[in-house]
Structure 1
Amino acid sequence: MKIAQVCPRYHPDIGGVETHVKAISERLVKYGLDIEVICTNPFRKSVYGKTPHREETINEVKVTRFRSIAPNDAFFFAPGIYNYLKNRDYYVIHAHSYHAFPALFAAFAKKGRKLVFTPYYHGAGHSFIRNILLKSYRPLGARIFKKADKVVCVSQFELNLIKKHFNVPASKLIHIPNGINLDEFRDVKPLERKHKTILFVGRLEKYKGVQHIIQALPLLEEYRLEIVGTGLYGQELKKLASKLGVSERIDWIKELSRAELLRHYKSADVFVMPSQFEAYGITVAEALASGVPCIVATGSALEEFVDDETCIGMSHPIESALLASTIESVCSRRANKVKNLMDWDEVVNKLTKIYDEK
C-alpha cells in the first residue's frame, strides 16, 4: 500500500505535527507499507537550485521537500505539491495541519483516492494578522473536511471544535490521541545539574507563551531556563531576556537528537507550556512520560492533561508572580503517573484500520 503523508514541515524541524508524522511514518514503514512524506522548506535557492523539490531518506522513510513561500514561518504555500500528488499512484493521501496550505493541495489532488485528514485544529490564528487570514481561508479549509473520508482528531477538544466550526458529520470524525513510545523513556540517564531547571520545548512563536516564563525568571533566582526550539519570535525573546537581566540564566538550544532531548526532559525539574492554542500538546505528554511535573495554560487541548497533581493548569492572562510561585511549588513533585497516554504502536494500528476501510 502506497501512502503519502503530507505536512508543512518534517524532521529535523521540531513541533507537534513534525513529531506526529515522523512517529507514524517510521512505524508504518516497519509494517511494510510504502510511505512517502511530502513537506516543504522555506525557499532556499542554494539548496534546491533549479529543481522544485529535493528528496532524501530519513530512517527508511522517503522524504520529498518542496520549495515554499512561508511569510513569518507560516502557511507554507507550495503549489508544486498539488501536481506531484496528482500524478502519482498513492492509495491513501494522509494530510496534516489545517493551518497550512499543503493539506489543501492534498485535498484538491485527491482524484478518487482515500483522503485522511489530521487537522490539529485549534480554532484561532496566532496573531491579529493570522486571525484575519484564517477567517478568509475558512471557506477553502472547509473543503478539506468535505473531501476527507476520515478526520482524525488528536484530542476531544479538537473534535468538539471541528463539530462546532465546520459541521462535519460525526461518522467522519474519530478521536485518536498522539502517541508516546513509553519504552524510550525508561532507563534514560539524566544530565548532571548544579541548578534547578525549567524546560520549554517547541516552536518560538508568541502564542506559545515563552515570554511568560522569561518574565517570571527574575523571581526565580535559583533556576535556569532551557528553551529547545527555533522560530522567528526568538529574537524578541532574547531582547526581553536582556531587558530583564536574565540572559545569563537561559540556554537557547536550536536542535537536539532524540536521545539528547530525552535526557533534557529527564533532567528538568518542571516543564512549562503556557501556549494559548494547542490541538494536543505532545511535548507535555513527553514531559509527563519522563516523570517531569508540568504547568500548562488552560483554554485549549492542554487542559486535558490537567489533574492538579502531575499537571497544573493556569488561565490566561499569565501572571508572572503566580507562575513563579507555581513553578516553585511543583518542583518538589515527580509525575509518577502517566495518564491517558497512548503508545504510538496503538496509534498506528488504529490508522492502518482506517487506511484499509472500504
Structure 2
Amino acid sequence: MNILILTHSYPDMNHKWRGIFIKEQARALSIKHNIIVVYFKVDYSHFAPFSKYAFLKKTDEKVTVYEVTVCKSFPVITQLKYLSNTFRFLKNEIFTRNHIDIVHSHLSYPAGFLGTILQKIKGIPNVLTEHSTIKLYSRSFLHKLCVNYTLRNASCIVPVSNSLKEEISSQCHRQLNVIHNIVDTEMFDLAKSKEGQIINIGFLGGLNNTNKGLDLLLKSVSMLERKRFFLHIGGNGILLDSFKAMVKASGIEADCKFYGEIFRSDIAHFYTGLDIFVLPSRYETFGIVLVEAMACGIPVIATKCGGPQDIVTPSTGMLIEKDDPEVLAKAIRTMSENLRSYDKEAIRRYASEKFGRSVFIDKMTKVYQDILTRYSNG
C-alpha cells in the first residue's frame, strides 16, 4: 500500500529527538509499504507574511521524507498560513505525483486535522495516531474546534495506550484501536550481569519541565545509602542547571552523573551500564524509554501515570504511585535486593514480542486493510 504520513513532529538537524517514535514507525512500515512522510513546521526566526512554503526532499532508508517550512506571519494568521500552505504543498507536490491509499496522521492537530480535511475532499481515509493528551490542544478556540472535528470524522483513531484511549473515548465516544509505540529491539544489546557492590540506576528524559519526575528521583537517591547506589542521568533541557543545583544542595554530587543529550548511536551503551532503570513521571501517554531499557534486559521502576501501566509487569519491573519519593526510594531498595529474580533474557523477549517491529507492522497493516475494505464496500 501507498501510505502518506503527516506530522509536525519529526527529527531534523536542530531537534534530533523530536518525534523519534514517528520516525521509527515510518521506518518499520516501509518494510511492507511504500511510505512518504510530510513533516511540516513553522520557521519562527523569519517573518515573511507573504511567502509561500519551501521544502526539502530526502531519503531515510526506504522512506521518502519531505520537510516543509512555512515562515512566521502575523499572530493567528501564522496558523492559517501554516495550514493553507501545507495543504497547498500536499496538493501540488504529493497528490499530483503519487497515488495515495491511506493518509496516516500523527497527533490530532495540525496533522490530524489536515488529514481529515484531505479525507473529506479527496475521499482518502485518514488514520489518526494520537500520542498526546487531548488537553494539549485546549490553548485556543481554533485548536479545540479543529481537534473536535478531527476526532469526530477521522476514519480511525489509534491511541498509543489504554489510558489515552479512555481519555479520547470520553470526548468523542467512538470505538478506538490501541496500538502501542514501537522500539527497534535489534539495536539494543542484552546487558551483562554485574558483580560489583554499586547498583547503577538510570534515568533518561527531557529536562524542559518536571513532568519526567527527575526532581522526585533525586530526592529518593538522597534517601538511599551512600556509596551503594549511583544515578546516571541522560537528557537535556532548560532545567538542567536547576537539577544540578538540586544535586549539590542534596549532597549527592558523588552519587550522580549528568550525561546531557545522549545521541541515538550511544543510547544502547547507556542502558547496558545499568542495573535498574527508573521513570518517575507525573504523566505519560506511553513511555518508550521503559521499553528500550527492557530491550536490554533491564528491570524498570515506573509510576502509575498512564502509559506505563500498559508496559510494566511484575516480571519486568515495578509500578508505584506517583509523586512520592519515599515510595520510590523503597522500590529502588527492594529491586536492588532482588535483582537476581529478574530474568534478563525474559525481559528482553517480552519487549520484543509486545513492542517490536513485526507486531506493530502486522497490527497497523490490519488497520489499513480493514479501512480500505470498509471504503470499497461503501
| Structure-2 change in CA distance of 1:34 and 1:182 (3 Å) | closer
Instruction: Give me the TM-score of the superposition, normalised by structure 1.
Output: 0.79
| Structure-2 change in CA distance of 1:271 and 1:82 (3 Å) | farther
Amino acid at match of 2:11: H
| Counterparts of 2:297 and 2:126, CA distance in 1 | 37
- Give the number of equivalent residue pairs: 338
Given the alignment, which residue of 101, 113, 125 partners 2:110?
A: 101
1:311 aligns with 2:317: yes
Give the equivalent residue in structure 1 for 2:7: 7
| Counterparts of 2:236 and 2:42, CA distance in 1 | 14
| Counterparts of 1:194 and 1:65, CA distance in 2 | 49
Give the equivalent residue in structure 2 for 1:176: 179
1:227 aligns with 2:236: no
Give the equivalent residue in structure 2 for 1:35: 36
1:152 aligns with 2:162: no
1:240 aligns with 2:246: yes
1:252 aligns with 2:259: yes
| Counterparts of 1:227 and 1:158, CA distance in 2 | 28
| Structure-2 change in CA distance of 1:39 and 1:50 (3 Å) | closer
Given the alignment, which residue of 122, 130, 133 partners 1:119?
A: 130
Given the alignment, which residue of 161, 167, 170 partners 1:161?
A: 167
Q: How does 1:53-92 map to 2 (within 5 A)?
A: 53-67=55-69, 78-79=82-83, 80-87=85-92, 88-89=94-95, 90-92=100-102
Give the equivalent residue in structure 1 for 2:272: 266
| Structure-2 change in CA distance of 1:234 and 1:8 (3 Å) | farther
1:323 aligns with 2:328: yes
| Structure-2 change in CA distance of 1:257 and 1:306 (3 Å) | closer
CA contact (8 A) 1:188 1:262 kept: no
| Structure-2 change in CA distance of 1:97 and 1:194 (3 Å) | farther
CA contact (8 A) 1:196 1:269 kept: yes
For residue 101 of structure 1, report the CA deviation from its aligned partner. Answer: 3.0
**Larger CA deviation: 214-223 vs 190-199:** 190-199
| Counterparts of 1:153 and 1:348, CA distance in 2 | 16
| Structure-2 change in CA distance of 1:91 and 1:292 (3 Å) | same
Q: How does 1:138-149 map to 2 (within 5 A)?
A: 138-149=144-155
| Counterparts of 1:69 and 1:211, CA distance in 2 | 37
Gaps of 5+ in 2: 73-77, 374-378
For residue 118 of structure 1, report the CA deviation from its aligned partner. Answer: 0.5
For residue 85 of structure 1, report the CA deviation from its aligned partner. Answer: 2.7
Amino acid at match of 1:231: G
CA contact (8 A) 1:43 1:67 kept: no
What SS does the aligned partner of 1:151 have? strand
| Structure-2 change in CA distance of 1:193 and 1:7 (3 Å) | farther
Instruction: Give me the TM-score of the superposition, normalised by structure 2.
Output: 0.76
Amino acid at match of 2:129: T
| Counterparts of 2:60 and 2:179, CA distance in 1 | 25
Q: Greater CA radius of gyration, 1 or 2?
A: 2
| Structure-2 change in CA distance of 1:255 and 1:62 (3 Å) | farther
| Counterparts of 1:146 and 1:213, CA distance in 2 | 40
Give the equivalent residue in structure 2 for 1:73: none
| Structure-2 change in CA distance of 1:31 and 1:299 (3 Å) | closer
Amino acid at match of 1:57: T
| Structure-2 change in CA distance of 1:197 and 1:86 (3 Å) | farther
| Structure-2 change in CA distance of 1:186 and 1:84 (3 Å) | same
State the Cα deviation string for residues 205-231 of structure 1 (Å, max 9, x = none): 321212211222323433333333333
For residue 116 of structure 1, report the CA deviation from its aligned partner. Answer: 0.6
What SS does the aligned partner of 1:174 have? coil
Give the equivalent residue in structure 2 for 1:343: 356
| Counterparts of 1:115 and 1:82, CA distance in 2 | 14
For residue 254 of structure 1, report the CA deviation from its aligned partner. Answer: 0.8
What SS does the aligned partner of 2:59 have? strand
Amino acid at match of 1:214: L
For residue 195 of structure 1, report the CA deviation from its aligned partner. Answer: 4.8
For residue 284 of structure 1, report the CA deviation from its aligned partner. Answer: 1.0
**Percent identity of paired positions between Structure 1 and Structure 2:** 20
Gaps of 5+ in 1: 71-75
| Counterparts of 2:197 and 2:300, CA distance in 1 | 21
| Counterparts of 1:240 and 1:91, CA distance in 2 | 52
